[in-house]
Amino acid sequence: MHSDRLLLGPGPSNPYPEAIEALSRPVLGHLDPEFLALVAETAHRLRTVFGTRNRLTLPVSGTGSAGMEACLASLLEPGELAIVGVNGYFGERLCEVARRVGAHVQPVPAPWGQTLDPQALLDAQRQTPQARLVAVVHAETSTGVRNEIAPLRALQDTDTLLLLDTVTSLGGIPVEVDTWGVDACYSATQKCLGAPSGIAPVTLSDRAVARIRDRHAPVCSFYQDLSLLDAYYQGDPPRYHHTASSTLISSVHAGLGRLLQEGLPAVWERHARVGEQLQAALPEHGFVLFAEPGHRLPQLTAARLPEGVGDTAARKALREDFGIEVGSGLGPLAGTGWRIGLMGHNAHPRPLTTFLAALPAILT
């Protein structure tokens, strides 16, 4: 017997029906002209969602962490400096991955639950202008905080690149890669894009592409070398790199089609509306919202549990009695809080109403 879950955690979310249907399409070879045309059309759709005209825009094989590693491994060389904004678990992961590719890391911290100060990041770059990149998580999945990115466009007047994590934001709130001067951006498909996990959308500016071309040392990862992936997907002729999944990319292509047919402004408004309704209702059940007002994500809400409610037992009851999954807390919320996602196909009234109706039974 297969379980049927309502996935209201930090990801994965339930995909759009069109994305599920596309998983049954015939498998294509990884160099089949039809497959490469599918990749090109998927990249075209991703450019629209990213808000960019970047030529190098690709569906990278792997989850969001693969996109993170591909960008950091491709853009950083051993001994170079990376400035990283850290106000949650995934800012910390950026630091860890940058260290593993041999970079020196300068964290610019803020308390969990609060937003990063863009000026503090710009000041850190001004004090160390040799920094290769500044990296920031747009939507911090561990806390439900939205960080402000637009002021960081000032980095375009320096030699330091801007790297942006949009794993939880792309498709749920506005992302404007070109307007914000973002040089490298990665995401994931299993959240607001409404597709299964397994693909990491990545886009690079011309500045970032030139940085990879002018490296002194080869990229430390063959599999995640974005220049090799570019030559595979967009080369003339295409150069074999790995056996990409036509099944997953077909599903992502279909999910993006559904999203773009609805229209980005309508999708953003839908996420905002159900997120606001959830955040208004949770305190009535004894929850305490974790992120500071004015910087809360609508698509991912972190909240402390009501006093006396056990995290593990309550999530088990929610899963077993109602078939609903939510995420446990990380960091300061570990064991005491939940992360509740209303993303992609689940950013609709029915999943929200179902969750709220189940709460009284599992909280008592």
For 340, the token pair is 């509740």
Q: Is the pTM of this model over 0.85?
A: yes
Residue with tokens 């994965």: 12
d(CA 347, CA 45): 21
Residue with tokens 């911090």: 140
Together in a domain, 35 and 132: yes
d(CA 94, CA 184): 13
Q: How many CB atoms lie within 10 A of CB 348?
A: 14
* Number of structural domains in the chain: 2
* Residues spanned by the domain of 162: 18-260
Together in a domain, 215 and 273: no
Give the pLDDT confidence score for residue 352 in this predicted structure. Answer: 98
Q: Is residue 158 part of a domain?
A: yes
Q: Is residue 110 part of a domain?
A: yes
For 124, the token pair is 């850190």
Q: Is residue 1 part of a domain?
A: no
Last residue of one domain, picked from the residues 260, 286, 306:
260
Nearest CA to 202 among 52, 101, 316?
52
Give the pLDDT confidence score for residue 2 in this predicted structure. Answer: 85
Together in a domain, 306 and 227: no
Together in a domain, 240 and 104: yes
Across the chain, which has 364 residues, the per-10-residue mean pLDDT values are: 93 98 97 97 98 98 97 98 98 98 98 98 98 98 98 98 98 98 98 98 98 96 97 94 97 98 98 98 98 96 96 96 97 96 98 97 89
Residue type for 6, please?
L
Together in a domain, 82 and 205: yes
Give the pLDDT confidence score for residue 284 in this predicted structure. Answer: 97
Q: Is residue 215 part of a domain?
A: yes
HEC string for the chain: CCCCCEECCCCCCCCCHHHHHHCCCCCCCCCCHHHHHHHHHHHHHHHHHHCCCCCEEEEEECCHHHHHHHHHHHHCCCCCEEEEEECCHHHHHHHHHHHHCCCEEEEEECCCCCCCCHHHHHHHHHHCCCCCEEEEECEECCCCEECCCHHHHHHHHCCCEEEEECCCCECCECCCCCCCCCCEEECCCCCCCCCCCCEEEEEECHHHHHHHHCCCCCCCCCCCCHHHHHHHHHCCCCCCCCCCCHHHHHHHHHHHHHHHHHCHHHHHHHHHHHHHHHHHHHHHHCCEECCCCCCECCCEEEEECCCCCCHHHHHHHHHHHHCEECEECCHHHCCCEEEEECCHHHCCHHHHHHHHHHHHHHHC
Q: Is residue 179 part of a domain?
A: yes
Beta bridge partners of 104: 81
d(CA 12, CA 260): 20
Residue type for 76, please?
L
Give the pLDDT confidence score for residue 274 in this predicted structure. Answer: 98
Together in a domain, 218 and 300: no
Residue with tokens 């090109």: 40
Give the pLDDT confidence score for residue 3 in this predicted structure. Answer: 86
Together in a domain, 240 and 356: no
Instruction: Indicate left, alpha or beta for 198 from its phi (over 0: left) and psi (-120 to 50: alpha).
Output: left
Together in a domain, 276 and 336: yes
Give the pLDDT confidence score for residue 126 in this predicted structure. Answer: 98
Nearest CA to 164 among 129, 208, 103, 194?
208
Residue 360 has φ and ψ, to the nearest 5°, of: -55, -40
The enclosing domain of 223 has a CATH number of 3.40.640.10
- Give the gyration radius of the chain's Cα atoms: 20
Q: Are 199 and 252 in contact (CB under 8 A)?
A: yes
Q: Is residue 193 part of a domain?
A: yes
Together in a domain, 181 and 314: no
Last residue of one domain, picked from the residues 197, 227, 260:
260
Together in a domain, 273 and 186: no
Residue with tokens 């949009």: 166
Together in a domain, 256 and 348: no
Last residue of one domain, picked from the residues 233, 260, 287:
260
Together in a domain, 141 and 157: yes
Q: Is residue 354 part of a domain?
A: yes
The enclosing domain of 269 has a CATH number of 3.90.1150.10
